[in-house]
Every structure is written in structure tokens, then in C-alpha cells.
């Protein structure tokens, strides 16, 4: 798997979200500072609410910018068949004939990327699954819990 292309797909997706969030933050800021948003009385909080919204969106945009920078600077490891899982690894987990692909990234866990006819889910080192995968290699088992069910999965591939 071409992890450099995968990283670019993740960065492209984050930049798209960043563009949308930046536009929304600018619209909220414009609304908060617009002439028509001046309070009509002491109980009119429209401008205040718009300002809070703009501030929150600006903070989220800054976090996305930091994420993009992290992905751009991240080195992608090259693996041999006995290599241990680390940041930048694509891991294939298998259970009862079903395969799931995960990319161990620095941030933005839960992001789903359609890539090379596969769906890849970004997980982080802070996630329960990410913590379990670190230091393991192909053939090892991990135990996951979802919706009150415990599942044992085998690490089918590490790239």
C-alpha cells in the first residue's frame, strides 16, 4: 500500500474540512459584527452567541491546521515482515472472515478515508485499539469491545 498517497488523501480531507470550517467561522464573525446584530435590549444575546460560535469555530480551525502540519511532517515507516506496529502503520485486523483496515495516525481518530477500493479508519495512539496495537506484529491477537461485546481479532497484515 502506498502510505504516502494515503497520507495525502488524509491531508486533502483535513484541508477540505478546514476550508468549510474557516468559511463558517468567517460567516459567524461577520454576523456577530454586523450592524443588524446590535442588541436591541439587555436581553438580546444574538451578537454574543454569534461571537461565541465564531470563536469556537476558529479554535477548531486552528486544531485542524495543527493536524495537517502533523501529517505533513510525519515520517512513514517502511516495514519488513516482522516489524512491530508504530505510528504511520496500516494494520489489517481480521475476525470471522471480515477484514478492517486502520491507519495509526497522530490525530483525528475516527476519520474514515476511502482509499484504493478500501475503507481505512484513522486511529490514534490514545485510542483503546491504538494502545493495544503498539508493539504488536502480524499474527498477534487483540481484544476489542464494542456495544458490550468482546471480540478477538487477529492482526492479518502490517504495512
DSSP structure class, residue 102 = E
Q: Does residue 78 lie within any of the structural domains?
A: no
Q: How many domains does the chain have?
A: 2
Residues 144 and 110 in one domain: yes
Instruction: Give tens-digit pLDDT for 59-88.
Output: 999 999 999 999 999 988 876 666 889 899
Q: Does residue 24 lie within any of the structural domains?
A: yes
Residues 102 and 63 in one domain: no
Strands (E), the chain: 90-95, 98-105, 112-115, 118-124, 141-146, 149-158
* Domain-ending residue, one of 17, 43, 73: 73
Q: Does residue 38 lie within any of the structural domains?
A: yes
Q: Does residue 82 lie within any of the structural domains?
A: no
Residues 69 and 95 in one domain: no
Q: Are strands 90-95 and 98-105 parallel, antiparallel or unpaired?
A: antiparallel
Cα separation, 108 vs 101, whole angstroms? 16
Residues 62 and 96 in one domain: no
Cα separation, 102 vs 132, whole angstroms? 13
Q: Does residue 79 lie within any of the structural domains?
A: no
Instruction: Tell me: pLDDT of 4 over 70.
Output: yes
Provide the angle, in degrees to the nearest 10, between the axes of the packed helices 46-73 and 3-33: 160
∠ CA 152-140-110, nearest 5°, is 60
Q: Does residue 83 lie within any of the structural domains?
A: no
Instruction: Give tens-digit pLDDT for 24-46.
Output: 888 877 776 767 666 666 666 66
**Residue ranges making up the domain that contains 26:** 3-73
* pTM of the model as a whole: 0.83
Amino acid at each position: 500500500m502506498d502510505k504516502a498517497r494515503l497520507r495525502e488523501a488524509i491531508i486533502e480531507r483535513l484541508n477540505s474540512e478546514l476550508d468549510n470550517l474557516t468559511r463558517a467561522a468567517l460567516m459567524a464573525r461577520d454576523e456577530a459584527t454586523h450592524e443588524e446584530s446590535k442588541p436591541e435590549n439587555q436581553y438580546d444575546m444574538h451578537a454574543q452567541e454569534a461571537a461565541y460560535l465564531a470563536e469556537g469555530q476558529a479554535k477548531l480551525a486552528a486544531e485542524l491546521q495543527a493536524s495537517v502540519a502533523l501529517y505533513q511532517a510525519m515520517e512513514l515507516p517502511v516495514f519488513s515482515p516482522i516489524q512491530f506496529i508504530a505510528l504511520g502503520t496500516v494494520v489489517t485486523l481480521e475476525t470471522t472472515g471480515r477484514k478492517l483496515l486502520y491507519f495509526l495516525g497522530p490525530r483525528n481518530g475516527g476519520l474514515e478515508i476511502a482509499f484504493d477500493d478500501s475503507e481505512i479508519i484513522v486511529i490514534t495512539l490514545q485510542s483503546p485499539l491504538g494502545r493495544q496495537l503498539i508493539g504488536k506484529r502480524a499474527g498477534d491477537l487483540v481484544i476489542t469491545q464494542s456495544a458490550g461485546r468482546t471480540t478477538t481479532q487477529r492482526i492479518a497484515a502490517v504495512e
